[in-house]
Amino acid sequence: MIDKFQDNNSLQWDFLFLISEKAENKSTQIPTKNDLYPNKLFFVGDDKQSIYLFRGADVSVFNKLKSDMNCENTRNKQHACTRR
């Protein structure tokens, strides 16, 4: 589980995907969502609470993750994500 993902950046995204990729993936590239073990990563965040720009946080990385992982807004404004 990665909490406060809105305060991460693209290098941290790459690292998390690298350590979560399927063992049979032999590519030297950063894995895509289809190269990850199912249900290996759980991201938590709120784009309105990103406060670490001075530390390199990039909220657009969180927003791209929501888009790439097929997230849907729920009634309480959190996001439920599933890999499809």
Residue range of the domain that includes 18: 5-81
Helical (H) or strand (E) element with 80: strand 79-81
- Return d(Cα 64, Cα 13) in angstroms, integer: 10
- 2-32 pLDDT, tens digit each: 888 889 899 999 999 999 999 998 889 999 9
- Residue 61, burial from CB neighbour count under 10 angstroms (0-12, 13-18, 19+): buried
pTM (2 decimals)?
A: 0.73
pLDDT of residue 80 exceeding 60, the answer is no
Domain tally, the chain: 1
